[in-house]
């Protein structure tokens, strides 16, 4: 048996929706992108959504829209994908890394306050694996020190906070990823949700060259209007209608897909409980979209485990190599191995198992059987 780590769930419906866009001959940002933005807002419960070409772009534009600039310091977790902190560096600001909570693997709220200085402007929070970070307390800290909050919700499309609301509503801006492996995919793509009208205007401007008008509004439809102004040197981060058409179908399936992920997580929990592993901590106050199912191997060698799983045809992955262990972050900012002991300890033991809606019962049984065979 061959089991992939996180293949996209693409059906005839997605193929037909994309074909329709291709036949319409309007390929770039246009009516499908607007429809996707509107439906995404409705799903999340946010006032606005701005579609972009990746979560990396979403994070970068969000920092730009909040006027993050050279000399600023931005607090974030070391236990994340590089995009979370690279985008801070792209603004000329300094990423101030923080260690994680040993149970949830989310940013340790108690450590945030210790790292705040007069230069601190914002906190970028990651909802690791789909489980909400400690948002109530993080928002309290942000209010106390007048900091902006950006949520990296790359793993959390469809997750809920402990207040029952969908993730995408608490920080100033929330960034979603529609990368090929994520819970909702458009191949490549991202979305920013927001409840502030002024920020939306700025983000739409930054998304497309700093143009006073969207290109599609100039060319789409009968009345063409050739005039535009450049109000600032913006970027080229718009979504295309090809991606949006894919996203609209994926959005329809998202709750069903996340429920399937949840039921797989329950089965893993039940079956792996007897083994010498640390299962993901489940906070019953919030609801995870289960983008990941990470386990920690208490005694078995993690790298050996990955190799053994591979030889049985099962792909796994590691989320994440802490950023403070990366050569650029060490050379440029002076971070060192040993700076964040919890992240490092977890990193050496952690492995993400396959979890996605198309995973069949027999595949899941085979994975569980193989894990038991390897660990015993």
Ligand X SMILES: *Cc1c(COP(=O)(O)O)cnc(C)c1O
Residue 376 has a CB neighbour count (10 Å cut-off) of 9
| β-pairing verdict for 73-77 and 120-126 | parallel
Distance of closest approach, residue 138 Cβ to ligand X, in angstroms: 16
Q: Which residues contact 71 (CB under 8 A, 6 or more apart)?
A: 92, 93, 119
Q: Pick one of 8, 95, 158, 190: the residue that binds ligand X (CB under 6 A).
A: 190
**Cis ω on the peptide bond leading into residue 241 (within 30° of 0)?**
no
Cα–Cα distance list, 150 to 68, 132, 141, 193, 194 (Å): 12, 13, 13, 10, 10
Which CB, 179 or 335, lies closer to ligand X? 179
Applying CB under 6 A, which of residues 75, 93, 126, 355 lies at the interface with ligand X? Answer: 126
Distance CA 158, CA 169 (A): 12
Cα dist. 303→102, 307, 326, 369 in Å?
21, 6, 19, 19
Of 148, 182, 204, 349, the active-site residue reads 182
Our CB check for ligand X shows the closer of 55 and 367 to be 55
Q: 59 or 371: whose CB is closer to ligand X?
A: 59
**Number of amino acids touching ligand X (CB under 6 A):** 14
Residue count of the chain, please give it: 376
Alpha helix stretches (DSSP H) within the chain: 12-24, 31-44, 55-65, 82-90, 109-114, 135-145, 197-207, 215-219, 241-272, 302-311, 327-333, 341-349, 361-375
Nearest approach, Cβ of residue 79 and ligand X (Å) = 9
Using the rule CB under 6 A, is 329 a contact of ligand X? Answer: no
- Give the binding range for ligand X (CB under 6 A) out of 78-86, 254-262, 278-286, 322-330: 78-86
Q: Name which of 161 and 178 has its Cβ closer to ligand X.
A: 178
Site for ligand X in 51-70 (CB under 6 A): 54-56
Q: Is 182 considered catalytic here? A: yes
Which residue in 179, 268, 335, 356 binds ligand X (CB under 6 A)?
Answer: 179
Among 43, 79, 81, 290, binds ligand X (CB under 6 A): 81
Closest approach of ligand X to the CB of residue 231, in Å: 26
Could you say which of 152, 287, 308, 344 contacts ligand X (CB under 6 A)? 152
Task: Give the nearest distance from C-beta 185 to ligand X in angstroms.
Answer: 9
- Burial (CB count within 10 angstroms: exposed 0-12, middle 13-18, buried 19+), residue 202: buried
**Taking the complex as a whole, how short is the minimal distance between the CB of residue 318 and ligand X, in angstroms?**
12
Question: Which of 6, 2, 3 lies closest to 293 in space, CA to CA?
Answer: 6
Residue from 29, 63, 83, 138 in contact with ligand X (CB under 6 A): 83
Compute CA distances 360 → 141, 260, 336, whole Å. Answer: 44, 10, 43
If the CB atoms of residues 54 and 174 are measured against ligand X, the closer one turns out to be 54
Let me know: does 279 contact 268? Beta carbons within 8 Å.
Answer: yes
Residues annotated as catalytic are 182
Which residues are at the interface with ligand X (CB under 6 A)? 54-56, 80-81, 83-84, 126, 152, 154-155, 177, 179, 190
């Amino acid at each position: 048996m061959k089991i992939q780590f996180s293949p996209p769930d693409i059906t005839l419906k997605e193929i037909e929706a994309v074909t329709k866009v291709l036949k319409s001959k309007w390929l770039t940002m246009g009516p499908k992108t607007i429809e996707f933005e509107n439906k995404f807002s409705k799903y999340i419960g946010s006032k606005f959504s701005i579609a972009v070409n990746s979560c990396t772009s979403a994070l970068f534009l969000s920092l730009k829209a909040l006027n993050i600039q050279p000399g600023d310091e931005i607090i974030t977790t070391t236990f994340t994908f590089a995009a979370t902190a690279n985008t801070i560096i792209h603004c000329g600001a300094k990423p101030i890394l923080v260690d994680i909570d040993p149970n949830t693997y989310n940013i340790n709220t108690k450590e945030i306050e210790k790292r705040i200085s007069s230069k601190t402007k914002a906190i970028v929070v990651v909802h690791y694996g789909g489980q909400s970070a400690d948002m109530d307390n993080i928002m309290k800290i942000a209010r106390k020190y007048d900091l902006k909050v950006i949520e990296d919700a790359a793993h959390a499309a469809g997750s809920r906070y402990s207040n029952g609301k969908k993730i995408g509503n608490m920080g100033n801006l929330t960034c979603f990823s529609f990368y090929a492996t994520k819970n909702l995919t458009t191949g490549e793509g991202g979305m920013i949700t927001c409840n502030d009208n002024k920020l939306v205007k700025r983000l739409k401007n930054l998304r497309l060259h700093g143009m006073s008008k969207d290109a599609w509004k100039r060319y789409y439809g009968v009345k063409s209007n050739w005039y535009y102004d450049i109000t600032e040197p913006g970027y080229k981060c718009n979504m295309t209608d090809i991606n949006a058409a894919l996203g609209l179908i994926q959005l329809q399936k998202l709750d069903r897909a996340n429920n399937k992920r949840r039921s797989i997580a329950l089965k893993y929990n039940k079956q792996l409980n007897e083994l010498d592993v640390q299962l993901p901590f489940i906070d019953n106050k919030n609801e995870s979209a289960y983008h990941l199912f990470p386990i920690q191997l208490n005694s078995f060698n993690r790298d050996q485990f990955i190799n053994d799983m591979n030889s049985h045809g099962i792909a796994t992955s590691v989320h994440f190599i802490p950023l403070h262990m990366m050569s650029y972050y060490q050379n440029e900012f002076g971070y060192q191995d040993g700076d964040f002991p919890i992240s490092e300890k977890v990193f050496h033991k952690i492995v993400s198992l396959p979890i996605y809606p198309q995973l069949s019962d027999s595949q899941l049984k085979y994975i569980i059987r193989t894990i038991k065979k390897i660990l015993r």
